[in-house]
Each structure stands twice: as structure tokens, then as C-alpha cells.
Amino acid sequence: MRLGGIDIGSRSIELVVVDDGGQILDARQTDTGFDPICQAKGIMADAGFDKLMATGYGRGLFETAFDDTATVTEIKAHARGVVHYFPEARTILDIGGQDSKAIALTNTGRVKKFEMNDRCAAGTGKFLEIMARNLGFDLKDFGPQALAANTSHAINSMCTVFAESEVTSLIARGADRQAISRGLHDSVVKRAAGMINRVSRGGPIVFSGGVAKNPCIRKLVASRLDRQVLVPEDPQMIGALGAALILKDELPAMAE
């Protein structure tokens, strides 16, 4: 049996298909765009799954459009996806496009406690995307440019609008772009570290979500918390994978 998990995020949509043994058969990604349901239909078109579970920012919209599809929270989906790669994981940091989450797990991989920032774009992938654009960097180059800085310009506001204003003022004063970039990364990590410390105080941190690809964020999290940071293969696919695996886990109950 082919089981699908789809993660409808604010910036991108991921689809993972596994067999009933949990082996990954297919993994795909597309932009969310202005019509996430149309985009979801496109990515699902020839995936050939028998059952599907949805998660992510747009799972409610997806459930309305496909009323025979089960849904699961992002928290549970990321926990299940992370444990697939790191069975001993006890702490997860997930920074997505629209929100960020710190999750503590029990010894059996279940969610014990979590903190979530979903009130604004501060500290998220969207925040980094906007700031990279304001500084004239491609998003993929933003982390390396911040890492290359010899100093850091502190950014006092985590509100995207006010942070943009600070960045504009620094640029107008001739401040170094790399140093501004480092300051922005520092501000994101300061917020993430606070969430992590409220749920967990020791051991490795598994970093999921698209921002886990940013080398500066990874390094600063490890340095600030003095903890090892582990990144799964294709970290942006973890939510979709977790949804597919939760569906797999529920198969015995469905058969009864």
C-alpha cells in the first residue's frame, strides 16, 4: 500500500509517499502560490497513493476541499518525521515559512511540550526571505553571507516592518551588508533559543523545516545553546513524511 503525507505550508507544499513498511517511495515539493489547493492537486497528480493525510498551515483548507482526507497537527507530524531519522531525539526546532516551533519529546517519541510563535512573521523563514531581499541577497546566499561577517549590527526589533526600517537606516548609513545580515540572524536565533529553553535544557537539537538549510542559523543555535544541532536529510520534507508515517502507524486500527 502507498501512503501519502502532504504538508501545506505558507511558502511551499511537500508531498511524501511511503510504503506500509515506512520506506520512502516518492518526495516532491512545489510553491504554495496564491491557490494552494490547485498547487496541491498538481503535486498529487500522478503520485499514486492509496491513502493521504494532510498537515501544515493549510490543512484545514485542504480538508474542506478533500473531505475524505485525515489531518494531523504540524507538531505531531514533525515529531513523527524527526523520530524516523533520529529515534533518540528529545528536542526539535522547526522554523518554517510562517511560524516557528520548539518541541520536547518523551522517551517514546511522543510530544511532551511545545512552544510556538505564530503571531507574526518574526523569526521565521518569511522574515529571513524579506530581509535577504532588502539587502540584495538571494535567500540561498543569505546564511553564508552572514557567516562571513566580521562583526554584527544588532537589530532591536523582531517585528518585520520595524526591522525593515532598521535595516534601511543601517544601509543609508553605509553599514556593511554582511554585518547587517549577521545581526538579523542573531535576532532570529535569540528568539528560537528562548523557545527551546522553555521546553528543553539539554541534549542534541534536531532542526527541521526549510530554515534548517541555513548554515548561519545552524551554527548560531549550536553556539548560543552549547548543544549539538542535527539536521535530517531534506529537512523541509519532515512534516509531510511525519504525516505519511502517522497514517502508516494507524493502518492496524483501520483494518479492525
**Architecture of domain 1-86+236-256 in this structure:** 2-Layer Sandwich (3.30)
Name the segment(s) of the chain with CATH classification 3.30.420.40. 1-86+236-256, 88-231
Query: What is the side-by-side order of every strand in the sheet holding 111-117?
Result: 111-117, 100-105, 91-95, 205-208, 229-230
Give dist(CA 90, CA 200) in Å, integer: 8
Q: How far apart are CA 107 and CA 90, in angstroms?
A: 7
| 88-231 classified as CATH 3.90.1010.20 | no
Asked if residue 254 has pLDDT above 80, the reply is no
- Phi, psi angle pair for 211, to nearest 5°: -70, -15
pLDDT per residue as tens digits for the range 33-87: 999 999 999 999 999 999 999 999 899 999 899 887 899 999 999 999 999 999 9
Instruction: Note the pLDDT tens digit of each residue in 161-181.
Output: 788 899 999 999 999 999 999
The mean predicted confidence, pLDDT, of the chain is 92
